[in-house]
Amino acid sequence: MVYRALNTIREWLLSCKQVSRTNLAISCGTSIVRLEVGDYARTSMDPAGIGTSSSRCPFAKITNYLLRESSMLVCNTLKSLREARAELRGTVALVPTMGYLHEGHLSLVRLASEKADHVIVSIFVNPIQFNNQNDLARYPRDLDRDIELLEQCGRKVALVFAPTLYDMYPPGFQTSVEVSGLTGLLEGVHRPGHFKGVTTVVTLLFNMVQPQYAVFGEKDFQQLRVIEQMVADLRMPVEIVRAPLMREKDGLAMSSRNVNLTPEAREASLKLSAALNEALDLFRSGERGVAELKRVVHERLTGDPLIEVEYVEIADGVTLEPIVSAKENDRLLLAAFAGGVRLIDNISLENIRAF
């Protein structure tokens, strides 16, 4: 695989003291693979892209090696992103992710490809949206795997932007973007500072990628609403596209964090979707009392020693404010730990079964 081979070369080049991670980028395209290492590297490369060190060779800029195995561009720096973005003609849809992709992410890519001429997927584990450093450390990462999954989408993905921390938050960075109101509820209570990190990084990505569309899933429903509000308030020239929450065959909401579940916790986690459906069935039967609907969810979840409920709430589908009497299109949202892994889930209260 082109990207894996280039990554191996990159790691080798990083052993040269003149090369640092902050000035290195890989770009893979239909007819070109370009390995950029700042201005210079202590190496020489032959036309086939095979590296050989030479003490007699002066520093040489490494660029433009013809390889045709990949139809997708991979950019690791803002400079390479902007150069590649300038070549795209027509509309662009951005799918922002933190990587460790699954079928839920790929469904966003497919939806994005229906909306725009080109799809750009960003992969960046954003440290400033984690209020728990252990959670950040445990977040799964495998860029090679992600690239392979996106390559399997055929030509749906034009470009992957996997920036370094330096490109997103260079030394001296001191600006943030924050939405009030919507962020003071639910996740905002239990993860202080989380949404400030989300809105800041999404604003950066919008500015860097300049998309006409951006696709966000309903799995993180509060995040979706926060982004929609930010775009509306700041008159950002991008249309937010909602994508439905994707589930495993047994009902578990797809999440990158699911990989951290033990077999026992994985089994226990199924009670989250089961509890949501019990409440939905009760709603469909005519129950509108929020207290009773929430009681049913709590009752299903609290009997399992592997499940620790953080919150269960029924909120207005637009404002996310808590309500007393449920109505169509309100949201039932919950967060719980399954074997120590934090999971979130939600459904829209409708007179049809969600799953």
Asked if residue 154 belongs to a domain, the reply is yes
Q: Does residue 121 sit in the same domain as residue 230? A: yes
What is the structure's pLDDT at 350?
87
Asked if residue 191 belongs to a domain, the reply is yes
Rounded Cα distance between 336 and 352, Å, is 25
The residue among 42, 2, 3 whose CA lies nearest residue 19 is: 42
- pLDDT, one tens digit per residue, over 208-261 is 999 999 999 999 999 999 999 999 999 999 999 999 999 999 999 999 999 999
* pTM for the full predicted model: 0.82
Burial class of 212 by CB neighbour count within 10 A (0 to 12, 13 to 18, 19+): middle
**What tokens appear for 61 in the block?**
């800029």
Asked if residue 250 belongs to a domain, the reply is no
Q: Does residue 78 sit in the same domain as residue 149? A: yes
- Total domains in the fold of the chain: 3
Q: Does residue 124 sit in the same domain as residue 221? A: yes
Asked if residue 14 belongs to a domain, the reply is yes
Per-residue confidence band for 8, with pLDDT thresholds at 50, 70 and 90: low
Assess whether pLDDT exceeds 80 at residue 297.
yes
Q: Does residue 238 sit in the same domain as residue 295? A: no
C-alpha separations of 282 from 48, 135, 289, 311, 316 in Å: 65, 35, 10, 19, 18
Asked if residue 62 belongs to a domain, the reply is no
Active site (catalytic) residues: 105
Q: Does residue 13 sit in the same domain as residue 114? A: no
Q: Does residue 116 sit in the same domain as residue 15? A: no
Q: Does residue 222 sit in the same domain as residue 298? A: no
Asked if residue 80 belongs to a domain, the reply is yes
The residue among 29, 246, 256, 250 whose CA lies nearest residue 143 is: 256
Q: Does residue 46 sit in the same domain as residue 186? A: no
Buried b (16+ CB within 10 A) or exposed e, 254-273: bbbbbebbeeebbbbbebbb
Q: Does residue 232 sit in the same domain as residue 116? A: yes
**What tokens appear for 155 in the block?**
């030509």
Asked if residue 354 belongs to a domain, the reply is no
Per-residue confidence band for 303, with pLDDT thresholds at 50, 70 and 90: confident
Q: Does residue 202 sit in the same domain as residue 118? A: yes
Neighbours of 314 (CB within 10 A): 25
- pLDDT, one tens digit per residue, over 101-146 is 999 999 999 999 999 999 999 999 999 999 999 999 999 999 999 9
What is the structure's pLDDT at 347?
97
Rounded Cα distance between 83 and 170, Å, is 20
* Last residue within a domain, chosen from 243, 278, 299: 243
The residue among 179, 280, 258, 252 whose CA lies nearest residue 222 is: 179
Check which CATH number belongs to the domain holding 177 and give it: 3.40.50.620
Task: Please name the residues in contact with 89: beta carbons below 8 A apart, sequence gap of 6 or more.
Answer: 117
Q: Does residue 146 sit in the same domain as residue 294? A: no
Rounded Cα distance between 253 and 250, Å, is 9
Domain limits for position 304: 256-348
Asked if residue 66 belongs to a domain, the reply is no
Q: Does residue 42 sit in the same domain as residue 181? A: no
